[in-house]
């Protein structure tokens, strides 16, 4: 093992909890490197016996959700399914059926009962969705938190708080990070691996798509050519960008597997990766010879806006 090639942040990683289990940060760091095991056709190398069972299980779940359920419906079906997996992380069976119908998405075997560690049980059962991804937050030791580190949603539960039969009162959270309890009875949520590797990165993708679709003079192709790249952006003057939105903890994993699209966009909370990515991709080219250029979401929006203003001049 070439330990000197690991990111410096890994040296401070706490791997085990007091009871010998993996910490959430260690789990997230380990799962971040699973993408290297996916082939370009979506196949997955399970690693034989060298990968721990928990990795293989989660990877299989993610693979099933990403490739078997949503690619069979053609481009329109793929877009409908990917959008639903991003925008609808939980719901009752009836609500999910209505979403399938409204969106024209094929049924997907990716929703399951909300796990017990995401439900508070009293006279009734309750869950709290993360304010940013809407996935039911995990409840441990009287604390609620979203397990996706960039979301940083943290709340405390007040013992004995709330109305009789109702949910406990929360502490913490203001403005856009506020949340409210919802009945958990009969609710299904996405498989954890699907949420972590499709929903979470999909938030930045779909958010950017929605912004682009509101801009006059812009045509947007979501997950173009069955996700050859995330967003095709076409302007009336013939200019276009092929955008891949990348949300990775380690920027080197992006450099090691260069995107198909020449325009690489990272969420604003990954802005510290821009220089490393641009430097690492400068010597590379896309399959058709294009140079890579790296933006944050905000800077890419600004670039589109400048181009549109120039067209209108």
Q: Tell me the per-residue pLDDT of 211-233, one tens digit each, with 9 for 90 and over.
A: 999 999 999 999 999 999 999 99
Q: How far apart are CA 55 and CA 247, in angstroms?
A: 20
Q: Which is higher by pLDDT, 306 or 164?
A: 306
pLDDT at residue 43, rounded to an integer: 38
Q: Which is higher by pLDDT, 20 or 160?
A: 160
DSSP 56-108: HHHHHHHHIIIIITTSTTHHHHHHHHHHHHHH-SEEEHHHHHHHHHHHTPPP-
Burial of 213 (0-12, 13-18, 19+ CB in 10 A): exposed
pLDDT at residue 8, rounded to an integer: 57
Q: Tell me the per-residue pLDDT of 28-52, one tens digit each, with 9 for 90 and over.
A: 565 555 444 444 333 344 444 444 5
Local confidence band at 4 (pLDDT 50, 70, 90 cut-offs): low
Q: Which residues of 228-259 are buried (b: 16+ CB within 10 A; e: fewer)?
A: ebbbbbbbeeeeebbbbbbbbbbbbbbbeebb
Contact of 292 with 281, CB cutoff 8 Å: yes
Q: Give the residue-averaged pLDDT of 110-131.
A: 94
pLDDT at residue 46, rounded to an integer: 42
Q: Which residues of 42-67 are buried (b: 16+ CB within 10 A; e: fewer)?
A: eebeeeeeebeeebbebbebbbbbbe
* Span between the terminal Cα atoms of the chain, in Å: 57
Q: Tell me the per-residue pLDDT of 122-151, one tens digit each, with 9 for 90 and over.
A: 889 999 999 999 999 999 888 899 999 888
């Amino acid at each position: 093992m070439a330990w000197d090639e690991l990111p410096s942040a890994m040296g401070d990683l706490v791997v085990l909890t007091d009871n010998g289990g993996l910490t959430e940060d260690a789990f997230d760091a380990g799962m971040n490197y699973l993408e290297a095991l996916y082939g370009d056709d979506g196949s997955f190398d399970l690693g034989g016996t060298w990968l721990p069972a928990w990795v293989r299980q989660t990877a299989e779940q993610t693979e099933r959700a990403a490739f078997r359920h949503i690619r069979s419906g053609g481009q329109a079906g793929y877009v409908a399914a990917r959008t639903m997996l991003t925008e609808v992380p939980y719901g009752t069976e009836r609500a999910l059926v209505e979403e399938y119908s409204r969106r024209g998405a094929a049924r997907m075997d990716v929703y399951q009962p909300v796990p017990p560690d995401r439900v508070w049980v009293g006279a009734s059962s309750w869950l709290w969705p993360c304010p940013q991804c809407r996935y039911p937050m995990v409840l441990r030791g009287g604390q609620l938190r979203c397990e996706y580190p960039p979301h940083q949603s943290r709340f405390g539960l007040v013992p004995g708080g709330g109305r009789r039969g109702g949910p406990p009162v929360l502490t913490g959270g203001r403005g856009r990070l506020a949340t409210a309890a919802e009945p958990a009875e009969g609710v299904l949520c996405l498989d954890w691996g699907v949420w972590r590797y499709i929903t979470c990165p999909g938030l930045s993708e779909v958010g950017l798509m929605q912004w682009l679709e509101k801009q006059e003079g812009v045509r947007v192709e979501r997950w173009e050519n069955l996700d050859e790249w995330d967003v095709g952006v076409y302007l009336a003057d013939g200019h276009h960008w092929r955008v891949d939105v990348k949300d990775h903890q380690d920027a080197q994993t992006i450099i090691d597997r260069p995107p198909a699209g020449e325009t690489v966009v990272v969420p604003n909370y990954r802005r510290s990766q821009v220089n490393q990515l641009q430097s690492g991709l400068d010597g590379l080219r896309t399959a058709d010879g294009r140079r890579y250029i790296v933006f944050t979401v905000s800077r890419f929006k600004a670039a589109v806006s400048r181009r549109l203003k120039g067209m209108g001049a």
